[in-house]
Amino acid sequence: MAYVFVLMRDQKPSSEYSQLTQTKAQCEEKLRGLVPVCVRQELEDTISSLKQQISLLQQRLSMLQDDIDQGSVSSEHLVTSTTSLHQLFGDNNCLSGPPPPYDGRRLETNSPSMGPAKEVEMKGQSRD
């Protein structure tokens, strides 16, 4: 037997939830008072900058994916883009693994210390 629980938006939060929210707000206020204004401003600026970089990288990724889907991207352009992303992020897990296959080929990515990415032939597929 399956049970379905529905949270009604019109319902007021429980007293535990209200107390938790209030306690969280009090703790945040205390922490704000402990952090010097210049440090807090620097952290907020850093967060804002990182959000902008994420947005720009998502747009760039979307454009590259559109190019790949349309088949209008050259392998040299893709290698350069992948290499520059690896240089930007290093060996971060978000970029681990090769990009999706295209045109019967894929890119073998290496860490920046091992040199640039190179194009390799996929097993079981012929290269035209």
Mean pLDDT value across residues 96-105? 51
Residue among 98, 100, 103, 107 at smallest CA distance from 79: 107
In this prediction, residue 79 carries a pLDDT of 60
- 3-19 per-position pLDDT tens digit: 555 555 555 568 888 89
Asked whether residue 100 is assigned to any structural domain, the reply reads yes
The Cα 111–Cα 87 span in angstroms is 8
The Cα 111–Cα 90 span in angstroms is 7
pTM reported for the whole predicted model: 0.38
Asked whether residue 72 is assigned to any structural domain, the reply reads yes
Asked whether residue 52 is assigned to any structural domain, the reply reads no
Q: Specify the DSSP element, H or E, that contains 106.
A: strand 105-108
Asked whether residue 121 is assigned to any structural domain, the reply reads yes
**Which residue range is the domain that position 75 belongs to?**
59-128
Q: Into how many domains does the chain fold?
A: 1
